[in-house]
Structure formats: C-alpha cells, structure tokens
Amino acid sequence: MGPVIVITGTPGTGKSSHATRLVEESPVPLQHINVGEWVKERGWYEEFDEEWQSYTVDEDKLLDELEPIVAGGGIILDWHTCEVFPERWADLVVVLRCDHSRLWERLEKRNYPLKKIQENNEAEIMQVVLEEARASYPPEIVVELKSESTEDLEANIGRIVDWIVAWKRDRASE
C-alpha cells in the first residue's frame, strides 16, 4: 500500500504535471486522480457556473465516491483545493506555488476568461490554497514547493520521491 498524497495549488501551478511525473517515478505504485476531471466525467456536480466557467461540486457525493479508493492508499489527489478532504486521508499535502505574473501567462494560454485569471491570480498572491492547507492538516505534512520551471518540477519530484522512500521505510519498521 502506498501513501495518499494531495497535490494542490491555484490553477496553473503544475498540479497535473507533478502528479503525472510522480506516478512515473514513484518507488511505489500510485494512481493519479485529477479530481476536477473526475467531477466532470462522473457528474459529481450540482451545476455549471457560466460566469466562472466552473462546476459547483457536490462535495458529499465526491467524498462518498473517493472514500473507498483512498482507503486503499497509493493515491495522488490532484485538485485546486484541499480542505474538503478529511485530515485522516492525507499522508502528505503538497502546495504548489508560482509567481503571479508567470501564473497569469499560464492561465491566458489556457484561454481562461479575464475574470477567472484575475481571481486565481489574486488567490495565489494571497496564498489562499496554502492557508487552507495549513488550516486543514497538521503542519508536518504540509509542504510548500515552488513550481515555476522545469528545474523546479524535477527538484520537486525528487523531493517527493525521497519522502515516499522514507514513508515506506517507516512503515516497514512498524
């Protein structure tokens, strides 16, 4: 059984890129769940907000469906928010951060509406996701990582892989 890792951050910070690479390089098998995609594919939402171009998630349905999957371990939950996940689920919470001007460019390339770019940029500047993570989980499992370049991605994956090795070693000695 592998750990449950939450990779979170403002949209555009590289969550899915990190999760995909981590699945490839992890010393234990991990399944990547892009929560936003799952919500859309499985209809775990209440409505689509045209103004914000986003879904209003049915959190009860989401958690009910994820519970048995997460209980098996070996999961990466990739989502722009994390406080919805019960504290008991997470072994590690990785909050990806990006300079707001770089983030703005990334979101423009995704053709996000201006209002959504502004909101996400403000959230990044105000450290909203980081503060949510710190308020929702024990400080020793929340890690803030810079995600602005390929070099950052490589370093971050190496650091998380090292953490997984230590996690696995700690479990073997129990």
CATH number of the domain at 52, please: 3.40.50.300
Residue 114: inside a domain: no
Note whether residue 109 is domain-resident. Answer: no
Give me the number of domains the chain comprises: 1
What is the C-alpha separation between 96 and 129, in angstroms, rounded? 9
CB 27 within 8 A of CB 112: no
Q: In the chain, pLDDT over 70 holds for what percent of residues?
A: 99
pLDDT by residue (tens digit) across 51-102? Answer: 767 788 999 999 999 999 999 999 999 999 999 999 999 999 999 999 999 9
- Confirm whether 123 is domain-assigned: no
DSSP string, 73-126: --EEEEES--TTS-GGG-SEEEEEE--HHHHHHHHHHTT--HHHHHHHHHHHHT
Q: Name the band, by pLDDT with cuts 50, 70 and 90, for residue 174.
A: low
Q: Is residue 150 part of a domain?
A: yes
Q: DSSP labels for 10-55? A: STTSSHHHHHHHHHHH-SS--EEEEHHHHHHHHT-EEEEETTTTEE
Binding residues: 12, 14-17, 110
Please give the model's pTM, rounded to 2 decimal places.
Answer: 0.94
Residue 103 lies in a domain: no
Domain, as residue range, for 75: 4-98+128-163
For residue 63, being part of any structural domain is answered with yes
Residue 47 lies in a domain: yes
Please list the residues that pair with 145 across neighbouring strands. Answer: 96
Q: Which amino acids are annotated as binding site for ATP, given as ranges? A: 12, 14-17, 110
- CA 145 to chain CA centroid, Å, is 12
- What rounded mean pLDDT belongs to the chain? 94
